[in-house]
Amino acid sequence: MIKGVGPVNAQVLNSVCLSTVGDFIDYWPRRYDDFSRVSKISQLRPGLVTIKGKFSSLRSRPSRKGLHITEALFSDETGTIPVIWFNQPYRASSIKLNSEYLLSGDFGLKARRLNITNPRIELSESDEISSGKILPIYRESKKLKSVLLRKIAKNIEPYFDLEKETLPQWLIKDKKLMQRSQAIKILHLPASNKDLESARFRLGFEEIFQMQLAGVLARKELIKEESPTIRFDENIAKEFVGNLAFQLTPDQKRTVWQIYKDMSAQKPMNRLVEGDVGSGKTVVAAMSAIMAMNSGFQVLFMAPTEILARQHAESISKLLSHSKWASQIGLLVGSLKPNQKKEMHNRIASGECRLAIGTNALIQDKVITENVGLVIIDEQHRFGVEQRSKLRTKSGLYPHVLCMTATPIPRSLALTLYGELDITQLKSMPKGRMPINTEIILPTARAQLYKTIDSMISNGRQAFIVCPLIEENSELGLTSAEVLFEKLSKNNFSHRRVGLLHGSMKADQKDQVMLSFKNGEIDLLISTTVIEVGVDVPNATVMVVENADRFGLAQIHQLRGRVGRGEHIGFCFLIPTDDQAISKRLRVLTYITDGFKLSEIDLELRGPGAIYGVRQSGALDLRIAQLTDEKLIASAKEAAEEFVQKGENIVKYPQLATRVKHFRSISQLN
């Protein structure tokens, strides 16, 4: 039994799965309160400060704007400073007047007076654990508090030295890393900010190294395989470009040439093309497809939804309408009638269909391909070894793979997530593409906004309203699609055709609603973010985002990319949760139209979940590393490549092998 852990505390610890010393060692602090640099009140300067003193004049009250405010005075022997907390009502009952506290927070001029806003506080204890230290703050529960966990950390200090190393010693020496056992001890028992920074770098490096190694190993396995040689034919490319009604952008030209070079080699192409909304990815895909078809190979073009597959089939058929391959394009989706599916299966199997467009049904066992040389995948950035194996051509060759995404991903994040892929970015936009007019609308101005939208519908346009929730949730206080649909279809837009779309609907229902909207049979579509990617309705000119402050910038950028895709100007209206939610972060959408810039801001402020998706970013399981640290990522990538070049056997490092296996499994690369 560890000192300080009696039966009661043991039960509390067990409730959060902390049953052993090993469990605790792996229970890393989530942040730190720095009480190590204590200032006198008379010496305070604007910025983050720490002071020691006592509270007085404590009072709690509601504000006219619905906020709960707790105010107090905090004093030391040199002076007194006002302190204020917003929406922390428990402060008034938890603070002990005339007891000595350490207080840390942002000191500055707010509401025309100097004060400290929303500070962190800690009773100034006399023991060595808390007083004047950098204090680890752990994930807490109602009964489990950080003060107990800090005591446990101190009592088990000798056990930290037993932690086994996970990286090769040559790598630790080359990168000047501290030993893992030392780094973890410092996480729990930091003596200085310098030590803590070194410890976090070591453990963050390890996390990124594991991910990079997963990508490098996958790439190494893939390049052992042989792919068909798809030769570049200049006449075919010139004929295609000559029939376009527009000019290719410099980025499109550069990207297509990279793809042609990849496919002319005998090693499998594995390229991801990132293109902002409207950057012309479909044209790149079509130019890639014709070169494969010209070399005698079949092409599979996979989309995540049926509506998007139909959209691609329509777009590419137009692009190839003047070519000899116009009659060799086919569509395979779930809603086809049995006899239509059978006909498509036969066309694909015989090779009559050289370009098959559809969902992932294209790679099911019942679909017999003739000679696949290229697979194009939209909005699915991973295509693993197993999937490629299913599509081996008759000669036993692996097909080339081209992935595309309309979600701009910062390069640092892309290199970490997709280490096995070559990445190309389409940044330049086609001439004539108009930016979307973006405005922030106060919640109290909804009625006037609805009149504006109704006027646009009267002029023949269509509109989206996107909500963060499907059903009402009183605890979250956010707008739900179902409730808003009921309200607007019966009141403000009772004279209009209003539709509802959300992720809980069956796939065929979603496709039918979206098809009706695309065909102009719905004037106003109330939806969740299910319409975020790929849907192309040229007549839709208005996008309204409810509770916009709850969305990532990159996500809102994707949503507004759904409008203004035709001849009419597009408008995006952002409605925050309340007047207080209009932040600087939200305002950047009104003047920044570059999706890559917005994704960088999102990554910095909100983390990878705002771009990559909450579920996927959770799978990354990064506890220390920051994906904005490009130097760390580059260093870890270099180390991963050197690990493989040295011929290291990953089996020698069991913990490393387990983590690499995890990252490969979530990447569909195992």
The enclosing H or E element of 51 equals strand 47-62
Q: Which of 378-387, 551-560, 595-604 has the lowest mean pLDDT?
A: 378-387
Residue 617 included in any domain: no
Angstrom distance (rounded) from CA 285 to CA 526: 32
Residue 421 included in any domain: no
Q: Are 260 and 303 part of one and the same domain?
A: yes
- Number of H helices and E strands in the chain, helices first, is 25, 20
What are the residues facing 545 on neighbouring strands?
466, 574
pLDDT value, residue 394: 59
Q: Are 155 and 123 part of one and the same domain?
A: no
Q: Are 458 and 569 part of one and the same domain?
A: yes
pLDDT tier for residue 625 given thresholds of 50, 70 and 90: confident
Q: Are 370 and 470 part of one and the same domain?
A: no
Residue 601 included in any domain: no
Query: Residue 26: left (phi > 0), alpha (psi -120 to 50), or beta?
Result: alpha
CB atoms within 10 A of CB 48: 13
Give the count of domains, the chain: 4
pLDDT tens per residue, range 325-351: 899 999 998 888 899 999 999 999 999
Over residues 485-508, the mean pLDDT reads: 91
Asked if 301 contacts 356 with a C-beta cutoff of 8 angstroms, the reply is: yes
Q: Assign residue 469 the CATH number of its domain.
A: 3.40.50.300
Most confident of 83-97, 284-298, 630-644: 284-298
pLDDT value, residue 670: 32
pTM summary value: 0.75
Most confident of 65-69, 247-251, 403-407: 247-251
Residue 221 included in any domain: no
Q: Are 455 and 496 part of one and the same domain?
A: yes
Over residues 161-168, the mean pLDDT reads: 93
Asked if 375 contacts 244 with a C-beta cutoff of 8 angstroms, the reply is: no
Q: Are 7 and 99 part of one and the same domain?
A: no
Q: Which domain holds residue 299?
A: 234-264+279-405
Query: CA distances (Å), 359 to each of 239, 335, 366, 374, in order?
Result: 29, 11, 14, 15
pLDDT value, residue 421: 80
Angstrom distance (rounded) from CA 18 to CA 26: 9
Report helix, strand or coil for 341. Answer: helix
Is residue 135's pLDDT more than 60?
Answer: yes
pLDDT value, residue 500: 94
Q: Using CB atoms within 10 A of its CB, is residue 353 exposed (0-12), middle (13-18) or buried (19+)?
A: buried
- Higher confidence at residue 206 or residue 112? 206
pLDDT value, residue 1: 63
pLDDT tens per residue, range 634-657: 899 999 999 999 999 999 999 999
Q: Assign residue 81 the CATH number of its domain.
A: 2.40.50.140
Instruction: State both tokens at 639.
Output: 């180390």
Residue 635 included in any domain: no
pLDDT value, residue 668: 45
Over residues 57-62, the mean pLDDT reads: 86
Give the CA count within 13 Å in the CB-facing half-sphere of 35.
24
Q: Which of 191-200, 278-287, 393-402, 562-571 has the lowest mean pLDDT?
A: 393-402
Q: Are 444 and 383 part of one and the same domain?
A: no
pLDDT tens per residue, range 344-378: 999 999 999 999 999 878 888 788 888 899 999 88
DSSP string, 123-175: E--SSTTTTTSEEEE----SS--HHHHHHHHHHTHHHHTTPPP-S-HHHHHHT
Report helix, strand or coil for 340. Answer: helix
Most confident of 119-123, 137-141, 462-466: 462-466
Query: Residue 592: left (phi > 0), alpha (psi -120 to 50), or beta?
Result: beta
Q: Are 534 and 516 part of one and the same domain?
A: yes
Q: Are 43 and 153 part of one and the same domain?
A: no
pLDDT tier for residue 669 given thresholds of 50, 70 and 90: very low
Q: Using CB atoms within 10 A of its CB, is residue 491 exposed (0-12), middle (13-18) or buried (19+)?
A: exposed
Q: Are 545 and 455 part of one and the same domain?
A: yes
- Higher confidence at residue 498 or residue 245? 498
Q: Which of 14-18, 453-457, 582-586, 663-667 has the lowest mean pLDDT?
A: 663-667
Is residue 567's pLDDT more than 90?
Answer: no
Q: Are 26 and 46 part of one and the same domain?
A: no
Residue 98 included in any domain: yes
pLDDT value, residue 620: 66
Q: Are 249 and 397 part of one and the same domain?
A: yes
Residue type for 651, please?
A: V
Over residues 612-618, the mean pLDDT reads: 55
The enclosing H or E element of 82 equals strand 79-86
CA 649 to chain centre: 33
* β-strand pairing of 298-302 with 355-358: parallel
Residue 228 included in any domain: no
pLDDT tier for residue 128 given thresholds of 50, 70 and 90: very low
Residue 176 included in any domain: no
Q: Of 248, 358, 256, 354, whose CA–CA distance to 312 is shortest? A: 358
pLDDT value, residue 570: 92
Most confident of 54-63, 392-401, 650-659: 650-659
Is residue 202's pLDDT more than 80?
Answer: yes
pLDDT value, residue 385: 56
pLDDT tier for residue 615 given thresholds of 50, 70 and 90: very low
Over residues 307-327, the mean pLDDT reads: 89
- Higher confidence at residue 530 or residue 261? 261
